[in-house]
Structure 1
Amino acid sequence: MKIKNTVKKPLIALLLVITLIFSVSNTILASKTYEGKEEVVYANLKYNGKVDEIYVVNIFDKEGKIVDYGEYSKVRNMISNEKITMVNNKITVTNENDKLYYEGKLKNQTLPWNISIKYYLDNKEYLPEDIIGKSGFLKINIDIKENKNNDKNFYNEYALQTELRLDSNKFKDIKTDGATIANVGKDKQFTYTTLPAEGAKISITSDVVEFEMDAINMNGIRLNINADIDESEITGKVNDLNESISKLDNGANNIKDGASTLNDGSDKLVSGANQLKNGSYNLNDGIISLKKGIEEVEEGLNELNDKSSIITNGSSQIKTTLIDIESSLSKVSLSTDSMEKLSSSSSKIKTAIDEINVGIDSLKSNTTYENYKSIMNKNGLDIDNLKGSNSETIKMLNNEINSLTQSYMEIKDVEAYEKEALELKNQIDKFSNILKLIKGNNAAISGTENYLNGLSSSISNLYKGSESLKNQYKLFDQAILELSENLSHILVDMTKLSNGINELNKKYAEFDNGINEYTNGVSEIIDGYSNIVNGANNLALASKSFYTGTNSLYIGTDDLASGINKLYDATEDLAQGTGEFKEGTSDIDVEIENKVDDILSKFTNDDSKTSSFVSSKNKNIKSVQFVIKTKPIKAKEAVQDDDDFKESLNFFQKILKIFGLN
């Protein structure tokens, strides 16, 4: 784009010169003093641009016998009465004046340009004579092309200026492109310049009232402009452009390398996301199994709590029995039935304490963190491996976030990759959220470990108390059995026995209080364990959400990898394109210089001789000028007969008409 703008600068100056030349061309032709023949070609066109007739005014600036050549249907002397002889296309005349002007009507009715003019009213094509006086939306299209049946030198070396004059009272809201616009009285004058060897497509639209239009005029002259263009500014800009192209190529290759690294990382990320998805699936299954195990432990605790009433009731019976014995002994009376009842109650308590001890031992085994990991492992999830994998994934995500951030910073200000930059930014945010989720997952695993270790410690302390209670009661039960046996044989020394029973009764009151505290502790454990059950339910819900999130993450990373692959392919194409662009523009300075020389060659004087438009036999041609016009589009009564008009001109008016100054 810079190249085009740079080349256009000298061309703009040339066009200004061309416009100036056209505006004074007739005066220049009239003021030249060098010797030679001049030809002014007058062409009258039909409304549609087809040639109607062509006249050539031949101008000589010498006296004496003049010989000229041309295929004319008729000739006439325009300024004197000297007879002109025409035999076999050879024209002979003896000129007694300083200048000779003679006119010839050409047999060959062709011009260097094929001109087509079309008229449309309200988007429908009409012959112009059919819309005279009508109103509507008018469009005029003028198409100028090379006439390949004519001498191509004129098309390649002559510029053509097209001029339309529109009455501003009749034509409103006039629109066109590429015209020089001027106000000429009440008319708007539109001038279009067609350079040598170039055609033109002219279009002009307007709202018209009672359509009429003056003739369309065209002037063609050969451009002889000596121009010395300083190309240093252009070449300097081109050198800057080459440096920029080199930087662009290097940048494209750097982007390609970065995209390659990003592409490799995306494959690892997809693999890691897949592992995370599979791990979260196994974790979810393990947590479901854990939830079931915790619910089973809760059922066991409820059963254990139900048996607490047997212990407390039995202990209450023993306590009541001891009181009865104490009361009976105080009366020095002991019943064998009471002793049997005492032994039976003690045996029931011992059995219940043993069962409680076994239940607490089972509870202790089932609530350890190691047992939790074992259960999870049986269901396909290694907690330690998951925790380690989470740590590796955290590290990998941190690295990937850093890599994506670096890539994002590289392309965020590149307009062509605005969409890819937005996708990278969204992925960075997603990965940051996933990173928080995985860190939270590790924190949940650590919290579960701490909670289960604390619970296991509490149950271990409870088990120690239960074990101690079992051992102590075993001794107590043995003592009761021995007491019962001894009492069944020995019913003597009742005072001593009564004192022992009294002491036993006091001790048992303390033991009964311990039994109540123990059963209350079991009840508190059940109340606390309900929190574990609720936590397990919440953990199961969170695990399901985590699995859903990791599955979405895997899908997203797979889509991201696909997008990064496309980005990498695009950067490869970009690098290849910039490389080809760099290679293709390596000699652009030479090409521009040649192009400028080629353009200037159309306008500069290359000292080539001007050819005669009439006949190749004519030599020493100073200039050839074309004056082309259409008929004015007017009502019949407003159009003056052209031949009558010619005949009414005096000599001075004829000279002015030759140069278009009348």
Structure 2
Amino acid sequence: MRIKRFLLLFIITIFIIYPFNAVAASTPAKDEVIYTTLSSSGEELDMYVVNSFEVKEPGEFVDYGEYSSVKNLTDLSDISNEGDEVSFTASEDSFYYQGNLDNKPLPWEFSIRYQLNGKELEPEEMLGQDGHFKLEIESSANEDVDPIFFDNYLVQISITLDGGLYQNIEAEEATIANAGKNKQVTFTVMPEQEENFLLEADVTDFELEAIEITAVPSSMSIDSPDIDGVTDDFETLADATAEIDNGVGELVNGITELNSGVSSLREGSGDYQEGINQVSDGSDELMSGSQSINRALQTMKDSIDQDVEAGDFSTLQDGLKQMAEGLKDASEGLTELQQNYENAYQAVEDAIDNIPTHQISEKDIEALVHSGADAEVIDKLVETYEAAQTAKGTYQQVREAFAAVSPTLEEVSNAQNEIATSLETIADQIAAASEGIDIQEGLKELQEGLTALSDNYTDFHGGLEEYTSGVEELSHAYQDLHNGIVELEDGTAELEDGAGELHEGTTELADSTSDLPDQMQDEIDEMINDYDKSDFEAVSFVSEKNENIQSVQFVIKTEGITKDEQEEDEEVAEEEKSFWQRLVDLFK
């Protein structure tokens, strides 16, 4: 009796010290594969899960899931299914069991639509028909399911097309591969994406096998690609845009100088125009005075004999002195006119010389066009550049005519001074003659001198007439040139504004492309991070109570649209009829 009590106490102590371990201390690693059948239109029909365990130590284990029924797929031992607990005993090996789920939604919703010859039909209505076939598959998130699967799983949709029935297959976003005599069309849905795919083909005797859909974790690690070559190209682009910006900056400086020179040109041209107009306006007075001098000389020559006979030389003397004073006044006017003209001419000369002589080639213009600058601004740049060069070239051609005006005025003024001096000398000689010198001899010399003076002055007057006509023509012609210079200044002002805007644009472009390689690398890294799910840890689809989950995969399949399946459905429907229904059918 004591021995029995001792043994009983020993056993109790053992159980106290070492608790009964009906369930293994550690949950074995588990994989879940969810098999789902969809209708041909995408509605969920049924679902079951194959659970597999890597058992390292034999024992009794508990798994969780609200299954409508369970089935041991490993051996013939029973498994318990009470509430959401599934209990089973497993030896040191792999263990599999199937759990059927009712009304458990997938993480994705699939909508599948069929068209034949442009008309949407139920798939069963299309069996055996010919025409142009369209299949549209829409994949979207199921908002009623934990988004962890939608956010981290890669979905592949595979459609097998019989090569004998389908021709001219088109599916822009799919991979099309040969599978024996068939074509395998595969669409891919990235994590966190909703897609709408379209497949088109010409079909004869329509049938379509089941559409297969798999969803697995996108857990592969994506390495950043080697983009050194690309970044080098972008660096070259950044350098090129910086050079364009520098070139445009230099162009802006040149245009600013051009505009400044053209402004000076306009001011000088205005002064020159005013001077040449004054010369032209004074030409009539000059010609009138010269004509009066010419007539006076002729009158003096004709009337000198009468003055000698009268013995009164005072009138002749006074007339000569007045004529000399008139010539001196005219000479002073011409001298002042020559100085004003010289100042105006120098202003025009400086302004024209200030126009830059930069040569802008067609290649430079083409580079500007390809820089993305405003085409209207470029056209203004080219038009203004050409106008400035034309004005400069035109002036070079007429420079000699402008330069000849000032010396001519100076020569005329000097000639008038010399004539005035000669007249004063003659007047003085007449005065001396009247004091007892041989008057007849003096008058004879005077008459000869006046005759020569009158003849020479007639020639001078003719030359002066030609000169004033030329000045008048020059004044009218220069008005057009001045108007062109005014328009040129307006154009260079607009050009300067446009070039400034262009420089702002190229500077912005250069700034935005200066760090383009780094921006591109950041964008690539961000895209890779969006799809790199290497840190994803699997969770159970069946129950959040399940732990130590290695992987969860989804295998989804639609019903096939084939004649064999239609016949099988009819046979099943026939088998489901009662005896009396089949008996009645015999008499129909």
TM-score, normalization by structure 2: 0.68
Equivalences for 1:100-179 in 2 at 5 Å?
A: 104-119=99-114, 140-166=135-161, 173-179=168-174
Aligned match of 2:266: 277
Report deviation, 1:372: 0.7
Aligned match of 1:3: none
Inter-CA distance 347–169: structure 2 relative to 1 (3 Å threshold): farther
Q: Does 1:371 align with 2:366?
A: no
Amino acid corresponding to residue 528 of structure 1 in structure 2? G
Q: Pick from 32, 41, 50 the counterpart of residue 34 of structure 2.
A: 41
Q: Is the 8 A contact 1:129 1:633 kept in 2?
A: yes
Q: Structure 1: how far apart are the matches of 2:447 and 2:165?
A: 124
Q: Structure 2: how far apart are the matches of 1:477 and 1:119?
A: 137
Aligned match of 2:275: 286
Q: Is the 8 A contact 1:121 1:139 kept in 2?
A: yes
Aligned match of 1:54: 47
Amino acid corresponding to residue 452 of structure 1 in structure 2? L
Q: Is the 8 A contact 2:160 2:184 kept in 1?
A: yes
Aligned match of 2:541: 613
Q: Is the 8 A contact 1:343 1:480 kept in 2?
A: no
Q: Does 1:203 align with 2:198?
A: yes
- Count of aligned pairs: 542
Q: Is the 8 A contact 1:343 1:481 kept in 2?
A: no
Q: Does 1:88 align with 2:83?
A: yes
SS in 1 for 2:277: helix
Report deviation, 1:195: 3.8
Q: Structure 1: how far apart are the matches of 2:310 and 2:81?
A: 166
Q: Structure 1: how far apart are the matches of 2:176 and 2:378?
A: 49
Deviates further, 150-159 or 284-293: 150-159
Q: Pick from 605, 609, 627 the counterpart of residue 555 of structure 2.
A: 627
Inter-CA distance 95–428: structure 2 relative to 1 (3 Å threshold): same
Greater share of helix: 1
Aligned match of 2:414: 457
Report deviation, 1:562: 1.8
Aligned match of 1:17: none
Q: Pick from 452, 477, 482 the counterpart of residue 547 of structure 1.
A: 482
Amino acid corresponding to residue 409 of structure 2 in structure 1? L
Aligned match of 1:560: 495
Q: Does 1:220 align with 2:183?
A: no
SS in 1 for 2:290: helix
Deviates further, 456-465 or 83-92: 83-92
Q: Does 1:446 align with 2:403?
A: yes
Q: Percent identity?
A: 26
Deviations 1:59-96 (A, max 9, x none): 67999988765434456678998887754355578999
Equivalences for 1:583-598 in 2 at 5 Å?
A: 585=518, 598=529
SS in 2 for 1:178: coil
Deviates further, 271-280 or 213-222: 271-280
CA-based RMSD: 5.7
Q: Structure 2: how far apart are the matches of 1:187 and 1:166?
A: 6
Inter-CA distance 166–435: structure 2 relative to 1 (3 Å threshold): same
Q: Is the 8 A contact 2:268 2:345 kept in 1?
A: no
Amino acid corresponding to residue 302 of structure 1 in structure 2? Q
Q: Structure 2: how far apart are the matches of 1:457 and 1:590?
A: 85
SS in 1 for 2:489: helix
SS in 2 for 1:181: strand
Deviates further, 276-285 or 612-621: 612-621
SS in 2 for 1:190: strand
Inter-CA distance 176–518: structure 2 relative to 1 (3 Å threshold): farther
Aligned match of 2:16: none
Inter-CA distance 560–600: structure 2 relative to 1 (3 Å threshold): closer
SS in 2 for 1:456: helix
Aligned match of 2:583: none
Report deviation, 1:46: 3.5
Aligned match of 2:456: 521
TM-score, normalization by structure 1: 0.62
Q: Structure 1: how far apart are the matches of 2:88 and 2:568?
A: 30
Q: Structure 2: how far apart are the matches of 1:187 and 1:306?
A: 120
Deviations 1:344-391 (A, max 9, x none): 99999878767765654454344x3x22146x5xxxxxx565455456
Amino acid corresponding to residue 171 of structure 2 in structure 1? T
Inter-CA distance 599–354: structure 2 relative to 1 (3 Å threshold): closer
Inter-CA distance 350–44: structure 2 relative to 1 (3 Å threshold): same
Q: Is the 8 A contact 2:114 2:123 kept in 1?
A: yes
Inter-CA distance 350–244: structure 2 relative to 1 (3 Å threshold): closer
Q: Structure 2: how far apart are the matches of 1:133 and 1:345?
A: 144
Q: Structure 2: how far apart are the matches of 1:171 and 1:350?
A: 129
Amino acid corresponding to residue 270 of structure 2 in structure 1? Y
Q: Structure 2: how far apart are the matches of 1:218 and 1:425?
A: 63
Report deviation, 1:555: 1.2
- Unaligned stretches of 5+ in structure 2? 1-27, 576-588
SS in 2 for 1:53: strand
Q: Is the 8 A contact 1:314 1:346 kept in 2?
A: no
Aligned match of 2:473: 538
Deviations 1:460-509 (A, max 9, x none): 444455555555567779999988xxxxxxxxxxxxxxxxxxxx79x95x
Amino acid corresponding to residue 182 of structure 1 in structure 2? A
Aligned match of 1:18: none
Q: Structure 2: how far apart are the matches of 1:122 and 1:530?
A: 97
Report deviation, 1:293: 0.5
Inter-CA distance 68–422: structure 2 relative to 1 (3 Å threshold): same
Q: Is the 8 A contact 2:37 2:558 kept in 1?
A: yes
Amino acid corresponding to residue 415 of structure 1 in structure 2? S
Inter-CA distance 64–353: structure 2 relative to 1 (3 Å threshold): closer
Q: Is the 8 A contact 1:162 1:192 kept in 2?
A: yes
Q: Is the 8 A contact 1:160 1:219 kept in 2?
A: yes
Q: Structure 1: how far apart are the matches of 2:308 and 2:232?
A: 115
Q: Structure 1: how far apart are the matches of 2:204 and 2:309?
A: 133
SS in 2 for 1:203: strand
Report deviation, 1:628: 1.7
Amino acid corresponding to residue 371 of structure 1 in structure 2? E
Deviates further, 110-119 or 457-466: 457-466
Inter-CA distance 49–267: structure 2 relative to 1 (3 Å threshold): same
Inter-CA distance 462–244: structure 2 relative to 1 (3 Å threshold): same
Deviates further, 81-90 or 238-247: 238-247
Report deviation, 1:310: 4.0
Q: Does 1:639 align with 2:574?
A: no
Amino acid corresponding to residue 56 of structure 1 in structure 2? V
SS in 2 for 1:177: coil
Aligned match of 1:487: none
Equivalences for 1:351-390 in 2 at 5 Å?
A: 360-366=327-333, 368=334, 370-373=335-338, 376=340, 383=341, 386=344, 389-390=347-348
Q: Is the 8 A contact 1:412 1:418 kept in 2?
A: no
SS in 2 for 1:143: strand
SS in 2 for 1:639: helix
Q: Does 1:71 align with 2:66?
A: yes
Q: Is the 8 A contact 2:155 2:216 kept in 1?
A: yes
Q: Is the 8 A contact 2:272 2:348 kept in 1?
A: no
Q: Is the 8 A contact 2:338 2:406 kept in 1?
A: no
